[in-house]
Amino acid sequence: MGFLTALLSFIVTIGILVTIHEYGHYWVAKKFDVKVLRFSVGFGKVIKSFKRGETEFALCAIPLGGYVKMLDEREPVVAESEKHRAFNQKSVYQRFAIVAAGPLANFLLAIILYAIIFMIGVNGIKPVIGNITPLGIFAQSELQTNDELLSINNVLTPSISEFSLAFIQASASKSLVIQARSEQLNLKTVKLNLAQDFLSKPEQGVGHYLGFEFALPKIPAVINQVVLNSAASLAGLQKDDQILNANGKLIKTWQDFVGVIQTKPIKPIELLIKRDNTMLTLFLTPKLVNDQAKAGVSVLVPKDYLKDWQVFTQKDPLDALSSAGTKVYQLTLLNLKMIKKMIVGETSIEQISGPVTIANYAGKSAEVGLVPFLSFLALISIGLGLLNLLPIPLLDGGHLFFYVIEIIKGSAVSEPIQQAFAKLGLLLILSLTFVALYNDLIRLL
């Protein structure tokens, strides 16, 4: 069932994203009176097709993309009476608009999906201040640990997600008024002046920028699962073990245990644990995974863990649309930062995922519910839009790059140069595909 869910969810995901992308090309092409010969979802053998007007609509066997085939004089045999409707006969600005419409349709889809999510309503966690970083922005204000953040510039922030969105929307003003409520239920109003532009480094996160961590309810340090061949497995830790002490430090919560792991990488940690009313001493040596210390265990989460911390937020259509636009803008910037880091070698290419990983996450999100699946769909739509805007020949961004050169120099880039770059683009795309499939295989194994 898990495999079938993943497969069907993947087909639905790719089908929706590709259809919307290609419809963007199709719609603008028709507006500029370009003759569209075929609208295809998928590649390869045609499974089903029908003709509407002058366009054939086809569903093909390989669901990994699609295309819109337009009349073009570079193809053989174009009737003299139809040459004015050929794609290559349109102005460079019209061609630019037609090509750009595909990726833009993906961004528009993401905005619509997030707006629907916000109107349906989402569960969230109250934005309560946890640890405050010394010398950070919050440390220089009256805000304290365990204060609940109620609003930013009079915009209510009932959840962590709402606080983050409101902060991003308000951060451009460089001046924020935050209302909070202390543990003693005292209200406080704090004005913050922002020196650095948050959106210049959005990947740092709102909490890191403001110098604090969001608080979460405390969980006992009881182990739920132990990863095979992990540091915890080699140390002899088992399911339901409760960690009482680490290197002489009392462990009251799971967060305490995580803190010890992160501050003692690749050094033995003496643990005192409770197992079936018996006290045991074990020695755990964390492993470094992507430069982070890992024990290889998960926490046993009580059923009522978030009972008093959960909130349900729902927005009216206009507010939902505004928040959706902010969300897509933020995620687009984050994706651009990640792409830049991959190009300059600051982030591993292991982050690149292929169809297997996408199918896996599509299936998992669909099993959880409608809102998680729509959120996943929006996230992938943003990624698809950005990918197609990269200046790689054969992708939309490659064509747009040539059109920009054409606008600057006043004439089109020669066919031999375009063909040479197309071969380089094909090589790059095949290389990225190989890396993505290799990463998928490694994750499966």
pLDDT, averaged across the chain: 86
Contact (Cβ atoms closer than 8 angstroms) between residue 257 and residue 221: yes
Catalytic position from the list 22, 75, 406, 415: 22
- Do 134 and 210 sit in the same domain of this protein? yes
| Average pLDDT estimate for 235-260 | 89
Has residue 256 been placed in a domain? yes
* Total structural domains within the chain: 3
Rounded to whole angstroms, the Cα distance separating 8 from 5 reads 5
Amino acid 333 reads L
Domain final position from 299, 333, 367: 299
Would you state the pLDDT for residue 293? 81
CA torsion angle 420 422 425 429 (round to 10) = -140
SS (H, E, C) 76-133: CCCCHHHHHHCHHHCCHHHHHHHHHHHHHHHHHHHHHHHHHHHHHCEEEECCEEEEEC
Query: Percentages helix, strand, coil for the chain, rounded to the nearest 5?
Result: 50, 25, 25
Q: What pLDDT digit, counting tens, does each position of 68-109 carry?
A: 999 998 877 788 888 899 999 999 999 999 999 999 999 999
- Do 191 and 270 sit in the same domain of this protein? no
Would you state the pLDDT for residue 155? 85
Rounded to whole angstroms, the Cα distance separating 294 from 199 reads 31
**What is the band of 346 on the pLDDT scale with cuts at 50, 70, 90?**
low
Rounded to whole angstroms, the Cα distance separating 219 from 309 reads 13
Would you state the pLDDT for residue 404? 95
Q: Is the pLDDT of residue 1 over 60?
A: no
Q: Is the pLDDT of residue 32 over 80?
A: yes
Would you state the pLDDT for residue 308? 77
Strand ranges (E), 276-318: 278-284, 287-289, 292-294, 297-299, 310-313
* Residue range of the domain that includes 291: 223-299
**What is the band of 217 on the pLDDT scale with cuts at 50, 70, 90?**
confident
| Average pLDDT estimate for 347-366 | 75
- Do 51 and 160 sit in the same domain of this protein? no
The question of whether 22 is a catalytic residue gets the answer yes
Share of the chain above pLDDT 90, in %: 35
Burial class (CB in 10 A: 0-12, 13-18, 19+), 430: exposed
Domain final position from 260, 283, 313: 313
Would you state the pLDDT for residue 17? 93
Has residue 211 been placed in a domain? yes
Q: What pLDDT digit, counting tens, does each position of 136-151 carry?
A: 888 888 899 999 999 9
Would you state the pLDDT for residue 272? 93
Q: How many CB atoms lie within 10 A of CB 116?
A: 17
Q: What pLDDT digit, counting tens, does each position of 160-176 carry?
A: 888 888 888 777 777 88
Contact (Cβ atoms closer than 8 angstroms) between residue 131 and residue 207: no
**What is the band of 279 on the pLDDT scale with cuts at 50, 70, 90?**
very high
- Do 200 and 238 sit in the same domain of this protein? no
Has residue 182 been placed in a domain? yes
Q: Is the pLDDT of residue 204 over 70?
A: no
| Average pLDDT estimate for 270-288 | 90
CA torsion angle 125 127 132 137 (round to 10) = 140
Rounded to whole angstroms, the Cα distance separating 414 from 396 reads 18
Has residue 326 been placed in a domain? no
Has residue 434 been placed in a domain? yes
Has residue 160 been placed in a domain? yes
Contact (Cβ atoms closer than 8 angstroms) between residue 334 and residue 351: no
pTM (2 decimals)?
A: 0.74
Q: What pLDDT digit, counting tens, does each position of 373-413 carry?
A: 999 999 999 999 999 999 988 889 999 999 999 999 988 88
Rounded to whole angstroms, the Cα distance separating 392 from 229 reads 42
Has residue 237 been placed in a domain? yes
Residue linked to tokens 């995922």 = 353
Contact (Cβ atoms closer than 8 angstroms) between residue 348 and residue 290: yes
Would you state the pLDDT for residue 198? 66
Residues 6+ apart with CB under 8 A from 110: 324, 328, 331, 378, 379, 381, 382, 385
| Average pLDDT estimate for 352-369 | 78
Taking the CA atoms of 128, 132, 138 and 139 in sequence, report the sign of the dihedral they define.
positive
Would you state the pLDDT for residue 265? 62
- Do 57 and 26 sit in the same domain of this protein? yes
Rounded to whole angstroms, the Cα distance separating 342 from 336 reads 10
Greater pLDDT, 343 or 35: 35
Contact (Cβ atoms closer than 8 angstroms) between residue 210 and residue 136: yes
Name the token pair of 277. Answer: 């009313």
| Average pLDDT estimate for 295-315 | 82
Share of the chain above pLDDT 70, in %: 95
Amino acid 341 reads K
Amino acid 158 reads P
- Do 18 and 94 sit in the same domain of this protein? yes
Taking the CA atoms of 90, 381, 65 and 42 in sequence, report the sign of the dihedral they define.
negative
- Do 393 and 407 sit in the same domain of this protein? yes
- Do 136 and 89 sit in the same domain of this protein? no
- Do 295 and 238 sit in the same domain of this protein? yes
Has residue 440 been placed in a domain? yes
Would you state the pLDDT for residue 2? 64
| Average pLDDT estimate for 14-43 | 94
- Do 374 and 393 sit in the same domain of this protein? yes
- Do 423 and 357 sit in the same domain of this protein? yes
Greater pLDDT, 112 or 301: 112
65 alpha carbon, distance to own chain's centre: 20
- Do 112 and 156 sit in the same domain of this protein? no
**What is the band of 309 on the pLDDT scale with cuts at 50, 70, 90?**
confident
Rounded to whole angstroms, the Cα distance separating 337 from 355 reads 22
Rounded to whole angstroms, the Cα distance separating 325 from 111 reads 6
Number of residues assigned to the chain: 445
Q: Per mean pLDDT, which range of 289-293, 299-303, 435-439 is the poorest?
A: 289-293
